Structure 1
Amino acid sequence: MDGSTRLPSQLGDRSRTAHHELTRALAGRPLIDFDRHTTGGRVAYAAPVPVSAARPTLSLGCYSPWGPAAPAEAIAAEHGTGERPAGERKHTWWATIAARAAARIESLGKPPVIAGWYAVPYLQTLAGPAGIVAGLPVNVRSQIEDKSAIGRILRSAQVPAHMIIGAHTYRDRLPNLTDMRNQIGSRRIVVQSAHSAGGRGTVFVNDEGDMHEAAALPGPWRVSAFVEGWSSNTTVLSLPDGRGGVRIYVDRPSHKAIGVEAVGIGPAKSAGNDWSQPWPITGAADVIEAATRIGQWAWREHRLTGLWGIDTIWTPAGPVINEINARKQGTTEVSGVNQQLSGFPPLVLAHLTAMLDHPVTWLPSPQEFNTATITAAAGGVPAPYYLKIRARQALRLPDDFPGSGIYRLSRGRLTWEGPGAHPADADSDTGRVLIANAPAAGTTCPPGAELATAEGITIGSASPFAGPSELSPHGRTLLAAFDRLTNHAEGTNR
């Protein structure tokens, strides 16, 4: 399939403009990407209509890149080990490559631009006094993402009360379960650390047996009622307007499945996102209005520029906001396909360009962009998805495993079709799927290791999710086929 089939023709001119503006913003400095996946930004530089300036000179991460998704060079903790890490080890990869990374950056001979999720001190040290870390300041992230303060933030931003979840903040200790239930007014409660990400630091408390895990979380704690509904992620971009104000661009909200045990994803953790399923227009408009108000507040208080996001839960009465994430997110990569399907380069390119104090001219007015978002959210148009798959027990990838690329799903099996790195190469309504971020053949994967993401574009029939924590029939078929492909016991024994 020609990956450009579903991409609007005007994407070409805008992508060329985005390339030139990012090139000027970089001003000859090497672009270094810092991400667990060493392929961050691939939906921009490995796209059917590529923005080549976004391909990193060097990527620093945990997992090895593949084929068309590869940067010019990568240093990955996974290189040479023969094992893909799991658990906390996948979050401690930096220590294993820090010395090599510093030496390689110094050898480049130019001050780098390091693209990180946020500007942590060790990246500032790595960049050196003349280098730049293109990420949100740590103190800004800490204040905006403080879960114990989210109610105050939303009220300060004048977000409507019906979108705010009632909660209590406890600072010294957690009360007993009965007292918290009485104070919150709910039998099932959610306990969250003030600062956490990726579902870590969140515990769903159903009974006394869950309180030990909740009490082990570092305080202060935000405690709220458990809200039934679909979780959702929305990518937002804040751009200075050059006149002292800010422009807020809001992407299409996703359907995010949480705690899908079948693919090895635990409670409160995301199993992936799907943008093809429709949302009510009124709810999408509410999310855009709330995001705009939060973005304006964050600009006034913190001069927040670049990518960020909000997490919502969609109830029968409409969406409520449960998190603000002042950074790039796990959804940033694939959500960029939404923008390409609408005729725009991924918003991450505007984020990086703006972080380097260069104007972005290829975006329309926020009103035009956000109105198109509402139309797309109503469904019936192509949209991307991704499904995370983890090892449910220890396994070794077969020596003939083809790795990441484009596969055809037919009769319960995945058949290799060729190289690929972009969901537009995988029209899933015709049976194709992109297997991304997979380990190399022969790699050992302990329980919990991230095996791959299955990605593609669909109008809805190939959505991997049927409910907030449930795979669709298509998702189950895809998972079983992937298990057979990798000799995963849960697939081969079926």
Structure 2
Amino acid sequence: MMPRIDAGLLDAADKELQQALDGRPLVSVERFTTALRTSYTGPTPIEALRPMLSVGCYPAWAAATPGAVVAAEHRTRVRSVAERHGWMSRVRHDVPRHLVALDRPPVITAWYATGRLRDLAGPGGTVAAVDGGLRNKVEAKPVFDELLRAAGAPPVVRIPCIHVDHLPELGELRRRVGTATVVVQAGVTSGGRGTVFVADESDMPRAARLLGPFRVAAFVDGWSSNTTVLSVPDEHGGVRVYVDRPSHKSVGVAELGIGPAKSAGNDWSRPWPTKAVALIVESAERIAAWTWRRYGMAGLFGLDAILTPDGRVFLNEINWRNQGTTEVSAVNQQLRGMPPFIAAHLAVMLGQRVTWLGDPHEFNSETIARATRAGGPFYVKARLCHPGPASIAPGHEPGVYQLGPDDQLHRVRAGAHPADADTARHEVLLANLPGPDIVCHPGAEIATIEGVTSGQLRPFDGPDSASAFTRRVHTALHNLFRPRHEEDS
């Protein structure tokens, strides 16, 4: 059961966000038009977080509907890897007329601010997101270790690495970082792009295709992880820093159609060692304070780490922006009886003072305590693994599904929030399912599998493997799809 959020906190978060918006319409521009749904649906919704207009790749569904929706899929009727990356160009002619119809200049929420988004916002409009140029400076993979040193992060969390403009031979890389497998990274990228694991000479051509300079790091075996962090300006010229519990992230799960270095989803229900969580919290606090002093940046950011089998933790990436984890990680704050971080993030982006968060040291101490206990939300990404185009059979809208003894998925009710599913009864929320008229191509996003678990049900068995339950759900989900012949596409 989700705890009820204190009515006073909810009211304060809602009022402060409304003050920041000042009557301006909130517009979401993200791949999923239902972004923010864990905040405006579920047991304790904040109505101010429901966008008046949502722009993205995939349509919303009834239980998760914001206001008006502009989805590229309405135009293309296709899901594919190419459409996933190129959806913005599909909606560029439709969005302006929807924005003009709004009665005031919009506030656009997105991962980070770009020139294109500022053009969409138009005169008097606002993009409530971190500046893309600053994001590039902070997230650039080749400078991550310099950032950790400048911020004063504990030396024990840093991975041995080198920085080179041109890649030498693999033997030299192995000698200089000390591991047989090396991790080559370059650029400012997300979703695993810009990262290549080099285990032997056959991997070097892929690494060489990246545009340098390069960060070449020792390979660290263990669980990948993501931690959501919020920094909020205080009254004394600094920032208050709130650190969420870290996840366990499975990467490169081929059985789910997830490629190397790419996330298969996150699980916040697995316990962490106390010392490792404490190191993440300390590092996050130092990084947030330094980034505020250096660049004047505040708001949401993500800190990626690796948890080794012997309980050590190493930081490997920073993402100063909203992320793919932002949606479901918000449930962690709700489980603590608090409004989600995103409400404070948007207020900060709009220059509004945030008063409802409480003492950050108490919050982070509680994070360390909670992270050592089982229980929390999870999500798993599902990609179409069929060899050719396919469409889902009619009658399978997004919502809560139960995996029956027959290993078939049965829709049991509407839903939009991970807590809508009772995982003790083998229920999951299948979010963002396509309609039966949509042609899905191999590799397309066909759903996210979500829930809140006490820890008995686990989505992943290991750093690169799905659990038996997830594999059963994934197989049953694929059984809902029927092949589409070329003439049907």
* TM-score where L is the length of structure 2: 0.96
2:57 counterpart residue number: 62
The CA distance in 2 between the partners of 1:22 and 1:401, in whole Å, is 38
Write out aligned runs for 1:121-200 (5 A): 121-171=115-165, 173-200=166-193
For the pair 1:266 / 2:295, whether they are aligned, the reply is no
Contact 1:401 1:485 in 2 (8 A): no
Which one of 363, 372, 378 corresponds to residue 378 of structure 1? 372
Q: State the match for 2:487 in structure 1.
A: none
Please tell me whether residue 212 in structure 1 is matched to residue 171 in structure 2. Answer: no
**Identity across aligned pairs (percent)?**
46
- CA deviation profile, 1:239-280 (whole Å, cap 9, x unmatched): 001221100000010000000001100010000000001001
CA, structure 1 residues 486+15, in 2 after alignment: closer, same or farther (shift >3 Å)?
Answer: farther
Q: Do residues 293 (structure 1) and 293 (structure 2) align?
A: no
Cα deviation 1:302-338 (Å, max 9, x = unaligned): 1111100100001124110000111011100000000
Q: List aligned pairs for 1:1-400, cutoff 5 A.
A: 6-86=1-81, 88-171=82-165, 173-315=166-308, 316-380=310-374, 382-393=375-386, 394-400=388-394
State the AA in 2 paired with 1:84.
R
Deviation for aligned residue 1:33: 0.3
Could you tell me which runs of 5 or more consecutive residues in structure 1 were left unpaired when the two chains were aligned.
1-5, 490-494
Give the 4+ runs in structure 1 shifted more than 6 A. none
Write the letter of the residue equivalent to 1:149: V
Q: CA deviation at 1:358?
A: 1.1
Q: Deviations over 1:444-490 (max 9, x none)?
A: 1111100100000101122110100011122222222222233589x
Which ranges of structure 2 fall in alignment gaps of 5 or more residues?
A: 485-489
Name the aligned partner's letter for residue 352 of structure 1.
Answer: L
| Structure 1 residue identity aligned to 2:219 | F
Tell me which amino acid in the other structure corresponds to 1:78. Answer: E
State the AA in 1 paired with 2:201: E
Q: CA deviation at 1:288?
A: 0.4
SS for the counterpart of 1:195 is coil
The CA distance in 1 between the partners of 2:385 and 2:483, in whole Å, is 8
Residues in 2 aligned to 1:398 and 1:456: alpha-carbon distance in whole angstroms: 22
Q: 1:230 to 1:52 in 2, by over 3 A?
A: same
Cα distance in 1 for partners of 2:464, 2:273 equals 20
Task: Tell me, yes or no, if the aligned pair for 2:384 and 2:478 is still in contact at 8 Å.
Answer: no
Report the Cα offset of residue 397 of structure 1. 2.3
- Are 2:80 and 2:442, in contact at CA under 8 Å, matched by a contact in 1? no
- Would you say how many aligned residue pairs link Structure 1 and Structure 2? 481
Q: CA RMSD in A?
A: 1.4
Counterpart of 2:118 in 1: which secondary structure?
Answer: helix
Mapped to 1, the partners of 2:129 and 2:109 lie a distance apart of 6
Q: Are the aligned partners of 1:194 and 1:222 in contact in 2 as well (CA < 8 Å)?
A: no
CA distance in 1, matches of 2:38, 2:213: 38
Give me the whole-angstrom Cα distance separating, in 2, the residues matched to 1:234 and 1:39.
Answer: 22
For 1:129 and 1:477, locate their aligned partners in 2 and report how far apart those are by CA, in whole Å. 51
Query: Partner amino acid for 2:327?
Result: E
Counterpart contact for 2:403–2:426, Cα < 8 Å: yes
**In the aligned structure 2, how far is the partner of 1:388 from the partner of 1:11?**
32
Whole-angstrom CA distance in 2 between matches of 1:247 and 1:83: 44
Contact 1:11 1:49 in 2 (8 A): no
Say which SS state the counterpart of residue 99 (structure 1) adopts.
coil
Amino acid in the other structure paired with 1:106: V
- What secondary structure sits across from 1:33 in the alignment? strand
Cα deviations by residue, 1:159-206 (Å, 9 ceiling, x for unpaired): 1111001111112x2112122122222211111113111101111111
Q: Report the residue type matching 2:56 in the other structure.
A: G
Q: Structure 2 vs 1, CA of residues 488 and 164 (structure 1 numbering), >3 Å: closer, same or farther?
A: farther
| Contact 1:399-1:442 within 8 A present in 2 as well | no
Contact 1:193–1:201 (CA under 8 A) maintained in structure 2: yes
Cα deviations by residue, 1:373-408 (Å, 9 ceiling, x for unpaired): 11211123x310001000113342234241210111
* Contact 1:164 1:321 survives alignment (8 Å): yes
- Counterpart in the other structure of 1:3: none
Asked if 1 retains the 8 angstrom alpha-carbon contact of 2:75 and 2:90, the reply is: no
Partners of 1:50 and 1:370 in 2: CA distance: 24
